[in-house]
């Protein structure tokens, strides 16, 4: 490499590297103030990822603030879909070849270590050879960008675009790709259930927004595909329910999925702390939906995880929740979760980063359940033991096998932390460390 090439590389590195590594991560939309029709939530993160060698340090901020314009409002609260997350970009390792070409190789070791720590904390590190093969999972989100190198070998089992009716998969926001990567990435990061048959329903637009109809239509499509699990890293204000029907069309679609025996897993929400509105988001608030809060890599509750209201009320009329449907039910990895990042105006490449929010925690539970259904196909919706009773059975087992469980249900911690290995062993009678028959 000649001196001119060296000058180009040095200029690139100088342009992209922050002058102070302690400021490598930046606050997401520090002074953002939502208007009356938009709801947003983010967490300030200041912990840097340190790494050795020459790297391109890229900084970006992504605020995912989907919302609905409601047909009705209760007490002036807008209808929203909140799908967690603030994503801050980590550094990516590069190789400089003799001709001066820069190629991104993969995430820094710190991100890989963080991923392993989350898997240890949730019991997902115990599995050998189990990857969700044969289980159909539908993610309702912003889409998926299969051009990310960690998704290059993924073939979707199904795709629908409720927003723009495009026939080919895409993601013009990034959140959906990040969530899908937690499940099926294969490269720099490794998904927790790479063998699933993945269906993607794009229900949210490029600004993260979607209305009641788009989400309902997406869930209805998942039902038509006869999937086993619907994963919804999103949420909004609950509707009013009368005689089994809700004023919220998407809640009615979710209820239809549950009635058909499909497992629905949804985020608790990210308004924890002093701004908590006192309940988890919908559809996580629906009975039989598995509602997921978030904890960090050491098992401490993530401060942004929403608390549940399990006491019922007169208006809107709602009976108190009881086991195993008290909200949230379980927590998963929800802070500093390694994710895939797609290009944007702030950074031109496919890279890796991390996110904090109950969106990511939702996917951890989705993956754990997919692995369990691989070993227990009798519990799939259309199987002999499947259906609404199977959902109840799984929820009771989640409650009984949770790690770090409080003495009784806690409105923030739920029944405790996901223990994927114990869930698997209790429902299947198998040892998760013994590979399935015929696996290599």
Strand ranges for 111-262 from DSSP E: 136-141, 158-161, 197-202, 229-232, 241-242, 245-246
More confident residue, 195 or 17: 195
Say yes or no to pLDDT of 389 above 60: yes
Q: What percent of the chain has pLDDT over 90?
A: 60
305-325 pLDDT, tens per residue?
999 999 987 766 778 999 999
DSSP 8-class letter at 69: -
Q: Does 363 score more than 80 pLDDT?
A: yes
Q: Is the pLDDT of residue 68 over 80?
A: no
Position 75 confidence tier, pLDDT thresholds 50, 70, 90: very low
**For residue 365, what are its two tokens?**
């539970």
Q: Looking at the domain assignment, is residue 418 inside a domain?
A: yes
Higher-confidence residue of 440 and 329: namely: 329
Q: What pTM did the predictor assign? A: 0.81
Query: What was the pLDDT predicted at 104?
Result: 60
**Is a pLDDT exceeding 90 seen at residue 97?**
no
Encode burial over 321-351: b for 16+ CB neighbours within 10 A, e otherwise. beebbbbbbbbbbbbbbbbbbbeeeebebbb
Higher pLDDT, 246 or 37: 246
Does 19 map to a domain? no
Annotated active-site residue in 24, 148, 175, 335: 175
The band of 101, judged by pLDDT with boundaries at 50, 70 and 90, is: low
Residue 251 falls inside a structural domain: yes
* pLDDT tens-digit series, residues 325-337: 999 999 999 999 9
Task: Reply yes or no on whether the pLDDT at 76 is more than 80.
Answer: no
Please say if the pLDDT value at position 66 is more than 50: no
For this structure, is 175 an active site residue? yes
DSSP bridge pairs for 263: 229
Predicted confidence at residue 98, as pLDDT, reads 54
Query: At residue 25, does pLDDT exceed 70?
Result: no
43 in a structural domain: no
- When divided into structural domains, the chain yields a total of 1
Residues 129-165 pLDDT 10s: 999 999 999 999 999 999 999 999 999 999 999 999 9
Contact of 284 with 291, CB cutoff 8 Å: yes
Mean pLDDT value across residues 188-192? 96
Range of lowest pLDDT (188-202, 220-234, 235-249, 387-401): 235-249
For the ranges 154-158, 258-262, 274-278, 410-414, the lowest mean pLDDT is seen at 274-278
- What pLDDT sits at residue 93? 52
Q: What is the pLDDT of residues 340-359, one digit of tens each?
A: 999 987 778 898 988 899 99
**Domain extent for 327:** 71-85+109-428
pLDDT for 42: 28
Tell me which of 51, 356, 359, 403 is the catalytic residue: 359
CB 47 within 8 A of CB 36: no
Q: Is 61 contained in some domain?
A: no
Integer Cα distance of 425 and 402 in angstroms:
13
Which residue would you say has higher pLDDT here, 15 or 405?
405
* Class of residue 60 by CB neighbours under 10 A (exposed 0-12, middle 13-18, buried 19+): middle
Annotate 19-54 with DSSP letters as a single string. Answer: S-GGGSS--SSTT----TT---------------SS
Query: How many angstroms separate the Cα of 410 from the Cα of each of 197, 213, 320, 331?
Result: 34, 33, 14, 11
Mean of the pLDDT values across residues 215-239?
93
Contacts for 106 with CB less than 8 Å, ≥ 6 apart: 92, 93, 187, 188, 352
39, part of any domain: no
State how far the Cα of 436 lies from the Cα of 439, in Å rounded to an integer.
Answer: 6
pLDDT given for residue 52 in this prediction = 24
Catalytic (active site) residue 359: yes
Q: What mean pLDDT, rounded, does the chain reach?
A: 79
Residue 21 included in any domain: no
Task: Name the catalytic one among 131, 136, 141, 145.
Answer: 141
CATH of the domain at 363: 3.40.50.200
Q: According to the model, what pLDDT value does residue 159 have?
A: 98
> Is residue 310 a part of any domain in this protein?
yes
Label residues 396-423 b or e (16+ Cβ within 10 Å = b). Answer: ebbbbbbbebeeebbbbbbbbbbbbbbb
């Amino acid at each position: 490499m000649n001196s001119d090439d060296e000058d180009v590389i040095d200029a690139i590195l100088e342009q992209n590297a922050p002058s102070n590594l302690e400021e490598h991560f930046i606050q997401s939309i520090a002074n953002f103030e939502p208007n009356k029709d938009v709801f947003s939530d983010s967490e300030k993160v200041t912990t840097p990822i340190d790494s050795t060698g020459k790297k391109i340090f890229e900084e970006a901020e992504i605020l995912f603030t989907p919302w609905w314009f409601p047909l009705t409002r209760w007490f002036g609260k807008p209808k929203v879909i909140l799908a967690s997350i603030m994503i801050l970009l980590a550094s990516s390792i590069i190789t400089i070849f003799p001709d001066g070409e820069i190629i991104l190789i993969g995430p820094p070791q710190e991100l890989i270590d963080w991923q392993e720590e989350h898997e240890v904390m949730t019991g997902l590190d115990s599995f050998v050879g189990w990857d969700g093969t044969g289980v159909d999972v539908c993610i309702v989100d912003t889409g998926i960008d299969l051009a990310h190198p960690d998704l290059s070998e993924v073939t979707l089992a199904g795709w629908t675009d409720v927003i723009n009716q495009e026939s080919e998969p895409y993601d013009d926001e990034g959140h959906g790709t990040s969530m899908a990567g937690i499940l099926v990435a294969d490269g720099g990061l490794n998904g927790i259930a790479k063998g699933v048959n993945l269906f993607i329903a794009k229900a949210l637009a490029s600004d993260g927004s979607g209305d009641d109809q788009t989400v309902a239509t997406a869930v209805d499509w998942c039902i038509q595909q006869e999937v086993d699990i619907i994963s919804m890293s999103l949420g909004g204000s609950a509707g009013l329910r009368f005689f089994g029907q809700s004023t919220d069309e998407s809640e009615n679609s979710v209820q239809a999925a549950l009635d058909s025996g499909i497992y629905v897993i949804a985020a608790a929400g990210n308004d924890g702390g002093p701004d908590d509105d006192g309940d988890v988001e919908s559809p996580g608030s629906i009975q039989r939906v598995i509602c997921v809060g978030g904890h960090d890599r050491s098992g401490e509750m993530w401060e942004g995880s929403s608390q549940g209201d399990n006491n019922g009320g007169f208006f809107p009329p709602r009976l108190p929740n009881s086991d195993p449907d008290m909200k949230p039910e379980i927590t998963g990895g929800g802070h500093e979760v390694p994710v895939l990042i797609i290009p944007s105006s702030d950074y031109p490449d496919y890279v890796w980063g991390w996110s904090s929010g109950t969106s990511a925690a939702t996917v951890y539970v989705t993956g754990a359940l997919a692995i369990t259904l691989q070993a227990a196909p009798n519990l799939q919706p259309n199987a002999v033991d499947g259906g609404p009773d199977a959902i109840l059975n799984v929820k009771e087992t989640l409650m009984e096998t949770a790690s770090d469980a409080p003495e009784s249900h806690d409105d923030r911690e739920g029944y405790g932390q996901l223990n994927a290995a114990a869930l698997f062993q209790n429902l299947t009678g198998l040892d998760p460390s013994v590979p399935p028959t015929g696996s290599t």
